[in-house]
Structure 1
Amino acid sequence: MTARCERWLARAAAQHPGKTAVVRGGRRVDYATLHAESERFAAALAGHAALGDGQRCVVFLENSVEAAVGVFGTLRAGGVFSVINPTTKADKLAFVLADCGATVLLTQASLLPVARSAAARAPSVRCIVVVDGDGDGMNGGVIAYRRFLAAADPGRLPLQVGIDTDLAMLVYTSGSTGNPKGVMMTHANVRFAATSITSYLQASHDDVVLSVLPLAFDYGLYQLLMCVKLGATLVLETSFAFPQKVLPLLATERVTAFPLVPTMAALIVQLRNFDPAWAASVRYLTNTAAALPPAHIRRLQDLFPAARVYSMYGMTESKRCTWLPPEELARRPDSVGIAIPGTQAWVADDAGRPLPAGEVGELVVRGGHVMQGYWNNAEATARALRPGRYPWERVLHTGDLFRTDAEGFLYFVGRKDDILKSRGEKVSPKEVENVLYAMHGVREAALVGVPDPVLGHALKALLVVDDPGLDARAVIAHCRAHLEEFMVPRTVEFRESLPKTGTGKIRRSELQAEAEGREAAEA
């Protein structure tokens, strides 16, 4: 049976043992090798680390072959994996490790100081495995990857370690409270989402996917999961900061699928020397995280004339919610489409009643892709998952505002909460504000997003300070030391006061509206 996700890798290794599974830099790994190393990692987890059924392994790595091994090896051991962005700072990583009760932390030498600091605050962590560690100084709960695997015996692994209703992964996503929330997805959830998405993309084992998206981002993670499910090839890169270093891979690797976020698309369409050879083999482009401007869609179609362009909407809590058939792009370029195959999505009022076309309400989703809830957070789960139309189900209230047209196509209107999108990533204002408040001399702080054609939101910190010597450069440096790069404000504005409610809370929504209105006025 292939119901559990780790079985996808076993099947691909049996059917296509010599086929390239993952390409990273100069390294090419076939399915037989990826499977064998994942089996050995699973055996090491079960043996040396005593990782049991349902226990958690956190993968704190850049996009790499070892990250793929960490994902599938953890599943093979009967565990639950969570991939964390390698730019995450120690405080946030410590929260994640403690929150999920991680047993093992898989990382790399360049991230070891952060990993050590975080693990010291998470008593559940039994060992830190360093993929490029050489064994020297690997002590005190830290072990080199090769040494970790050396004594493992895959032959001792049971043939089956669980069923498809078991938890497969925790994907941590920013929340309006400031602390990340662990989205719980079972093997059945992952299988359903991957099957639905690959069906409308018409993806196949012949695909070669180029992904620069972090595996910590569910959009990036599913590139790996779907490739292995299909027996396709995944080409991994770690950055798109210099597009002209990455785009030639489209030609040299004969890439057929290229997943994008709007910031990537904005860089591509601005290139003056785009080589048509780069686009020759690409069959489809996908976009999510935020809607592409119609002008960017048209330019992408010019640059990739043989490629279908898929506009999509999704959220970590249900992976993908909607997709727009490419043939509809010309008619409704602003739409994010219809519910993905096998699911339903509708616009509802505050009481949960469906709304007619043209009226704005919250998007509600039902289907096998909907999460089980937030790890260790019953209150947030109850807000997101509510009783559906049938007694046995809970449906996902997305917190996002939509409308439909007369033919049922969906259009994103705005977000009900304060979450911002910058560089394709979710940013919790509260999380950034917590860091700002930790800076000496900051009395009041609010983070807003100024609309930006490349970034989505350009983050701006609004501060009231007691220290007149505090300047923008110091504030940004402080944030950069404590936050991932996409969460660092680009600008800082100092004010005498910030608007507040009667209970003393800062009116962030008012400040956000002001930021958007000011940008519109200046434009």
Structure 2
Amino acid sequence: MRVEQYLRSSAERYGQKEALVAGPVRLTYGEIDRASDRLAAEMLHAGVERHDRVLVFMDNCWEAVVSVFAVLKAGAVLSPINPSTKADKLAYILNNSGATAIITQGRLIRVVDEAANQAPALAVRIAAGFEEASPEGYFGFEDILADDSGIELPFAGIETDLAMLVYTSGSTGFPKGVMMTHQNVDAAARAITTYLENTSDDIILNVLPISFDYGLYQLLMAFRTGATLILEKSFAFPQVILNRLNEEKVTGFPIVPTMAALILRMKSLKPGMFPHLRYISSTGAALAPAVIEQLRTLFPDVRIYSMYGLTECKRCTWLPPEELDQRTGSVGIAIPGTEAFIVDDDGAMLPAGKVGELVIRGPHVMKGYWQDPEATAKALRPGRFEWEKVLHTGDLFHADEDGFLYFVSRKDDIIKTRGEKVSPKEVENVLYAMTEISEAAVLGVSDTVLGSALKAIVVAAPGANPSEKDVIRHCSRHLEDFMVPKQVEFRDALPKTESGKISRRLLQQTLEAGE
């Protein structure tokens, strides 16, 4: 199924149903379907062609939702861009993708103009947020939707066409464009909505940027099932968002681990405060076991889904909520319709208990990185069968006897100290078990004796004042000697990636700069 068909089908079945709530704006499926038809028609009229790349450079707003489906209805390739992206990076993405069009909003015009000066292929610019005249060189979003002339869109394409070009922030160098076909996207969306048991009765609250694939898929999955999406701009004011859970009778709440940490800091929350909430899902990084236990205490009647995924295949694994007690620390099993297994450096499959690289096989795996054959060849390698290629994740895992998977570390995160290999994740899980700590990261730092020593960088929980000795003593009780951090540094906050993960790369840079 092509992704724009999610909207068309739901508009046919639930045309008058509320599909989207974004601030004060409430739109039905029928209204979004008609608005996206108009925008798609205008893009085609302005010169956008099938398979062209179109950037959607907006925050979480109703106009972005309309734009996502309009791009796909036009037969073009959607490239969602984080609204905090600066001009130099935007120019790189424009040129790398060869984008011919961009849809943006008023406050980002200056960034677009600066980037566009370096991107000669960009021909069509559309801007929202101008009730009167739009800026020179831009089509007005509101003017386009106000046009009530007849619309007849041409054939958009087939499901093996590219649907999305999602740029990963990347740990080093320039971002890479992940190529996902409609078939890839639909396979992932179908699998996730299956295990989440999503239906048209669901009301999903999303604060995650729809420029981030986890946030974007909340929109796609809601529209695939005919559910209602409550779209918020951020989690900057947690109490406001949590109030919305009850105001809108929300049933599904996707989060990332940093959001979980903020929620658990809130002393005003009590068990049973959210009677309509059916599930909480988390990905981006594995939730520490101590965090899962605290969430379960606070949300006793809510199903908590711990998941693991990559932009390159959207979702890899999920842990059935009923397995939380007996599979502490696991991120579960392969999502429906796919396979996940662990291999050694030679590509041989490993038995239970052995640590190796996780490999993903299935219809949700990307087609490769845009114009980057070297990176594509490294990630997509021949599988066990002659006709296929499989995704090498670059992440180290082990499995138990029942096939449940446990994240160990990124292959390049492993720290060698005292002649031993240490997974920072294992140390961080112990740190998160301290109630006095709300955020933690462990890095290797140069040491004249050890070569590399472990350093813990932590954020104290509100009202807590742990000392370095407290932290080291706690770790000593729960870890082997070689895994106990030699140094502890306290900070007010830890740097995050665009997707909300604690960024080891940025943290390492601050250490090297002596900040």
Shared fold, TM over 0.5: yes
Q: 2:332: which partner in 1?
A: 337
Matches within 5 A, 1:102-181: 102-136=99-133, 138-139=135-136, 141-151=137-147, 153=149, 155-158=151-154, 160-181=155-176
**CA-to-partner distance for each residue in 1:2-45, whole Å, 9 max, x for gaps?**
x1111111111111111111111111111010100011111011
Distance, in Å, in 1 between the alignment partners of 2:458 and 2:407 is 17
2:296 is aligned with 1:301: yes
Q: Call closer, same or farther: CA 1:493–1:325 in 2, change over 3 Å.
A: closer
Residue in 1 that maps onto 2:470: none
Q: Report what 1:90 is aligned to.
A: 87
* CA separation of 1:144 and 1:271: change in aligned 2, threshold 3 A: same
| Cα distance, 1:154 vs structure 2 | 5.4
Change (3 A) 1:218 1:134: same
* Aligned with 1:397 (options 384, 388, 392): 392
Aligned to 1:55: 52
Counterpart CA distance in 1 for 2:274 and 2:67 is 32
The 1:453/1:329 distance shift into structure 2, 3 A limit, reads farther
Among 67, 72, 84, the alignment partner of 2:69 is: 72
Task: Please list the CA deviations of residues 429-474 of structure 1 after superposition, one character each: whole Å capped at 9, or x if unmatched.
Answer: 9xxxxxxxxxxxxxxxxxx99654799xxxxxxxxxxxxxxxxxxx
Superposition map of 1:220-299 within 5 A = 220-274=215-269, 278-299=273-294
Q: 58, 63, 81: which is aligned to 2:78? A: 81
Deviation at 1:493, TM superposition (A): 4.5
Match of 1:32 in 2: 30
SS at match of 1:68: helix
Given the alignment of the two structures, is residue 352 of structure 1 paired with residue 311 of structure 2, yes or no? no
The answer (yes or no) to whether the contact 1:285–1:310 under 8 Å persists in 2 is yes
User: Which residue does 1:313 correspond to in 2?
Assistant: 308
CA–CA distance in 1 between the matches of 2:150 and 2:168? Answer: 33
Could you state the TM-score of these two structures normalised by the residue count of structure 2? 0.81
- Partner of residue 477, structure 2: none
- The residue type paired with residue 128 of structure 1 is R
Q: What SS class does the counterpart of residue 298 from structure 1 fall into?
A: helix
- Aligned residue-pair number: 443
Give 1:143 deviation, angstroms: 2.5
Match of 1:113, SS? helix
Q: Give 2:378's aligned amino acid.
A: R
Aligned partner of 1:507 in structure 2 is none
Q: TM-score, normalised by structure 1?
A: 0.80
Deviation of residue 111 (structure 1)? 1.0
Query: Which position in structure 2 is the counterpart of 1:197?
Result: 192
Alignment RMSD? 2.8
Q: Distance in 2 between matches of 1:150 and 1:494?
A: 54
Displacement of 1:147 in angstroms is: 2.4
Map Cα deviations across residues 324-375 of structure 1 (whole Å, 9 max, x no partner): 1111101112000010111000010111110111111100000000000011
Distance in structure 2 (CA, Å) of the matches to 1:258 and 1:34: 23
**Alpha-carbon offset, residue 178 of structure 1:** 1.3
Q: Tell me the amino acid that sits aligned with residue 132 of structure 1.
A: G
Q: Secondary structure at the match of 1:331?
A: coil
Residue 135 and residue 26 in structure 1: after superposition, are their counterparts in 2 closer, same or farther (change >3 A)?
A: closer
Per the alignment, in what secondary structure is the counterpart of residue 296 of structure 1? helix
Q: Which whole-Å CA distance do the structure 1 matches of 2:5 and 2:149 have between them?
A: 19
Shift in alpha-carbon separation, 1:484–1:247, aligned structure 2, 3 A:
closer
Q: 1:25 to 1:150 in 2, by over 3 A?
A: closer
Report the alpha carbon displacement of residue 127 of structure 1 after superposing the two structures with TM. 2.3
2:414 is the alignment partner of 1:416: no
Q: Return the alpha-carbon distance in structure 1 between the equivalents of residues 119 and 12 of structure 2.
A: 39
Letter in 1 for 2:29: Y
Q: In 1, Cα distance between the equivalents of 2:2 and 2:513?
A: 54
Select 2:206's aligned residue among 211, 223, 226: 211
Q: CA deviation at 1:418?
A: 6.0
Matching residue of 2:42: 44
Q: Percent identity?
A: 51
Q: Supply the distance in 1 between the matched residues of 2:282 and 2:231 (Cα, whole angstroms).
A: 17
After TM superposition, list the pairs within 5 Å mapping 1:368-517 onto structure 2. 368-417=363-412, 451-452=457-458, 492-493=510-511
- 2: CA distance between counterparts of 1:484 and 1:411? 22
Q: Hey, what does 1:508 align to over in structure 2?
A: none
Q: Report the residue type matching 2:51 in the other structure.
A: G
Deviations 1:395-419 (A, max 9, x none): 0000011111111110000002469
Distance in structure 1 (CA, Å) of the matches to 2:287 and 2:37: 41
- Report if the CA contact (8 A) 1:285-1:307 is conserved: yes
Is the contact between residue 402 and residue 414 of structure 1 (CA under 8 Å) also seen in structure 2?
yes
How far off its partner does 1:104 sit? 1.2
Q: Cα distance 1:362–1:492, how it changes in 2: closer, same or farther (>3 A)?
A: closer
Residue 105 of structure 1: SS of its match in structure 2? strand
SS of 2:151's equivalent in the other structure is helix
Residue matched to 1:518:
none
Q: Could you say what secondary structure the match of 1:234 adopts?
A: strand
SS across alignment from 2:183: helix
SS of residue in 1 equivalent to 2:354: coil
- Partner residue in 2 for 1:13: 11
SS in 2 for 1:59: strand
CA offsets per residue over residues 68-119 of structure 1, 9 Å max, x none?
1111001001011111111111111111111111111111111111111111
Gaps of 5+ in 1: 422-428, 430-447, 456-478, 497-514, 516-523
